[in-house]
């Protein structure tokens, strides 16, 4: 980086050109002219070869800045300016307004108190675009592997992880404000539905098997057994549907679309991505969801459908924030791990409530198919409702102070 000097304007509008610069550019007895920079943030002093008119430095190395230019720049007596050499010209800048990478004073954009020119900003954005591309590529690879493995149904975790990776891809796209009608969204959403039907069945069956094993009352244990058997029949249909349709949805065309997006479009979205502003929007949405939950609980009761739906929305908002903070922590120099952990705790804490809600939903769907006495069926439903009520009574959510992402 070229040497920089700070000098002060005197009451006559003069500024001393440092001796090192005078010697380097051989300015003594040269005819000079002063021009305002195109950026409007400073001036340049240029040797005018072959011309006899113009200013010359006095014996102290001072040059007079024309009053018209001083007024335009709002430079008054005592103004501190930075002086440096750029392209064999003396450049005087106001408050170091030049590109910190290449020293250009043209087409500047301020970034956290520093300036980048258009070309360097473009290169920086492409570099950051590369980080985003690497994250997306890694997620896509994991998504493809879990989608393929999920079709074997050997490990239920494959279906779960396929849904998780899909959610993360969707969350990152939304954070960049990629339009929701973009062609890469629909396959993710369709696959999520197909995977979700099997996943919900897997979770319900596993839960009812555990409850059957723990239930001391054999009549109630039988209800749980009949429940998971009935759900298993439905799961077979969902698996057949998944095996048939998922390869058509998450196809080679889907990955070709992603490859084109990462290559041709991603950097444009990264270029206009404002981290703190976007995080503030997400945090505001989270706080609004918390408010809606508290209002629903107060008005309708904690176990009411509006309250459960509102809590689900809180969990979804926390999930997206968790994903965003996690990947920002990987890609940017800021440390977002604390925020990611905060929202992960919220998501995990309310996971069991969400499961209980889904189990009750599954119970209601299948209770008519259970060949057992109504009083035993009612007793099992009451157990689930009481467990849900207990968990809901324990719920306490504190809103995060907005702007804490900065």
229-254 pLDDT, tens per residue?
Answer: 999 999 999 999 999 999 999 999 99
Nearest to 231 by CA among 352, 363, 374, 388: 363
In this prediction, residue 96 carries a pLDDT of 54
Mean pLDDT for 20-44 is: 87
Tell how strand 5-8 and strand 42-47 pair up: unpaired
State pLDDT tens for residues 146-163. 999 999 999 999 999 999
Residue 83 · residue 89 · CB < 8 Å: no
Tens of pLDDT, residue by residue over 110-153, are: 665 567 777 777 777 677 778 899 999 999 999 999 999 999 99
Q: What is the mean pLDDT of residues 202-208?
A: 93
The closest alpha carbon to 128, from 339, 328, 277, belongs to 328
Residue with tokens 């900003």: 121
Residue-wise pLDDT for 258-309, tens only, equals: 999 999 999 888 877 888 888 888 999 999 999 999 999 999 998 899 999 9
What percent of the chain is modeled with pLDDT above 70? 93
Helix (H) or strand (E) holding 270: helix 266-271
Domain limits, the chain: 5-98, 134-273, 274-406
With beta carbons less than 8 A apart as the criterion, state whether 363 and 381 touch.
yes
Fold of 5-98: Chemotaxis protein chec (3.40.1550)
d(CA 240, CA 5): 74
pTM of the model: 0.69
At residue 353, the pLDDT reads 87
What gap in Å lies between CA 284 and CA 290, rounded to an integer? Answer: 10
CB of 323 within 8 A of CB of 171? yes
């Amino acid at each position: 980086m070229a040497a920089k000097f700070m000098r002060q304007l005197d009451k006559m509008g003069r500024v001393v050109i440092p001796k090192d610069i005078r010697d380097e550019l051989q300015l003594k007895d040269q005819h000079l002219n002063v021009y305002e920079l195109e950026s409007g943030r400073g001036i340049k002093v240029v040797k005018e070869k072959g011309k006899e008119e113009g200013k010359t430095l006095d014996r102290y190395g001072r040059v007079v800045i024309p009053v018209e230019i001083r007024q335009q720049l709002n430079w008054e007596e005592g103004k501190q300016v930075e002086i440096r050499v750029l392209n064999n010209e003396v450049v005087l800048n106001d408050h170091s307004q030049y590109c910190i990478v290449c020293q250009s004073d043209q087409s500047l954009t301020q970034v956290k108190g520093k300036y980048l020119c258009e070309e360097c900003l473009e290169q920086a954005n492409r570099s950051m675009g590369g980080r985003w591309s690497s994250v997306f590529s890694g997620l896509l690879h994991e998504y493809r592997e879990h989608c393929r493995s999920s079709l074997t149904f050997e490990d239920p975790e494959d279906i779960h992880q396929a849904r998780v990776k899909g959610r993360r891809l969707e969350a990152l796209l939304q954070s960049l404000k990629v339009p929701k009608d973009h062609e890469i969204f629909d396959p993710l959403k369709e696959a999520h539905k197909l995977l979700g039907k099997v996943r919900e069945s897997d979770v319900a069956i596993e839960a009812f098997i555990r409850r059957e094993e723990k239930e001391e009352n054999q009549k109630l244990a039988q209800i749980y057994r009949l429940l998971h058997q009935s759900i298993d029949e439905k799961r077979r249909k969902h698996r057949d549907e998944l095996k048939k349709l998922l390869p058509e949805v998450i196809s080679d065309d889907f990955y070709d679309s992603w490859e084109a997006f990462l290559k041709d479009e991603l950097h444009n979205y990264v270029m206009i991505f404002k981290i703190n502003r976007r995080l503030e929007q997400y945090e505001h949405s989270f706080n609004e969801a918390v408010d809606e939950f508290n209002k629903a609980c107060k008005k309708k009761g904690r176990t009411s459908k509006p309250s459960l739906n509102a809590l689900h929305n809180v969990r979804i908002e926390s999930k997206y924030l968790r994903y965003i903070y996690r990947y920002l922590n990987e890609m940017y120099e800021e440390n977002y791990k604390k925020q990611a952990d905060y929202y992960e705790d919220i998501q995990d804490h309310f996971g069991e409530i969400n499961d209980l809600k889904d189990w009750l939903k599954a119970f209601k769907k299948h209770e008519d198919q259970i060949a057992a006495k109504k009083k035993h069926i009612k007793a099992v439903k009451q157990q689930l409702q009481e467990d849900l009520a207990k968990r809901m009574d324990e719920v306490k959510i504190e809103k995060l102070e907005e702007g804490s992402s900065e």
